[in-house]
Structure 1
């Protein structure tokens, strides 16, 4: 009985707190091999276009990843499929000189959260899709385990 109470308390604390995130999602990369043709898409809804948002990449890699960086191309589209923006980004996963991994690690796995856009205002309320493609030109790119995005309200109040 005490154990059930503890589980409920932890669940309430974890889920009861309001978060800034309006969307957070990962896509697992099958067998840790990211093929160029595999371009995960993330569709989310913005209800209030007057408020600013921060948008982040979420990434998980194995320590066996062969490079210190990762190039990604991102495409932001509105609900009609019209491209609002596309951009090539470089993410630094490890210190280029020492090879020390960045991010939060547990054993061989490292999680990263990289800011894509700060204080971004969407053109209007509606659904948006962010598509992400690896641009390392190695096909497949080994030891990338998952990729995703988080969209957070900047001025969240409780």
Structure 2
């Protein structure tokens, strides 16, 4: 009986991981005390092996419903192997509906996950190691109820735009 359960679990786990074949890199950082400090730049380093492909870059965010604002401003900076700035932008994303206050994202209980696009179908000039830096740009030094922040890089060639 336990052997059958183990086999079923292995099939389920392998099925779940096979569904994410476009992912090149993903890392999430849990924030201490559920707080994102303004001068705390989160840096993610990833490898690009094929510069002929196009990639989608996202930032992930996990917040609680107690987050005190409707939105979040995040500045991202993409750097190449030499530290040269390739792309930078201040992005504003809504976490809650402006009128109803209903949370956006995928939620379970009072925790909600978001995946926000930064660059779609982006082509790197060369293979190598790249860095993506994320900083919160809200009007508070300490941004409470942000549980984790992360980055995801996907191969865009298998996706329909």
The interval holding the TM-score normalised by the smaller chain is over 0.9
Do residues 139 (structure 1) and 152 (structure 2) align?
A: no
TM-aligned CA distance change 1:89 to 1:18, over 3 Å: closer
Q: CA RMSD in A?
A: 1.4
Find the partner of 1:92 among 94, 98, 119: 94
Distance 2:50 2:158 in 1: 12
Q: What per-residue deviation string (whole Å, max 9, x for no partner) do you get for residues 10-39 of structure 1?
A: 222123456111011101111111111221
Q: CA deviation at 1:141?
A: 0.5
Between the aligned partners of 1:84 and 1:9, the Cα distance in structure 2 is 41
Equivalent-residue separation in structure 2 for 1:74 and 1:12 (angstroms): 33
TM-score (normalizing by structure 2) = 0.92
Superposition TM-score, scaled by structure 1 size: 0.94
Q: Give 1:9's aligned residue.
A: 11
2:81 to 79, 82, 87: 79
Match of 2:105 in 1: 103
Segments of structure 1 that go 5 or more residues without pairing to the other structure are none
Q: Deviations over 1:43-86 (max 9, x none)?
A: 01111111111111111000000111000011111111111122
- Give 3-state SS (helix, strand or coil) of 1:72's partner: strand
Moved over 2 A (4+): 14-18
